[in-house]
Structure 1
């Protein structure tokens, strides 16, 4: 992973397919392995926000597979 730019509220990074697969797997385990009742407390984010991030990473991986 390479940091391209950073501001107070955003970071632009360049990640490899392998790194995206790691993030995808980790987020999948988090979304499917933690009880919904304690999800936000344990993760620090709402489940739907993490699912949206997981979906976004999945879309990027799908596009990479087409190249």
Structure 2
């Protein structure tokens, strides 16, 4: 089982919680969530979500990332 969590650090709000089979690829989830990034957001992801395409999309949206 995998639990994917998107958390807003400033407000303490959970933005997205998803439970999926343990065999699912983290990168696919990261790509789906990259489309929800807003200007000036900071996305912090571990290397399981590494995707140059996602980072380009995040940058185009005026946001930032740490991987």
Same fold per superposition (TM over 0.5): no
The structure with the greater share of residues assigned to helix is 1
TM value normalised by structure 1? 0.27
The structure with the greater share of residues assigned to strand is 2
TM value normalised by structure 2? 0.27
Q: Of the two, which has the highest radius of gyration?
A: 1
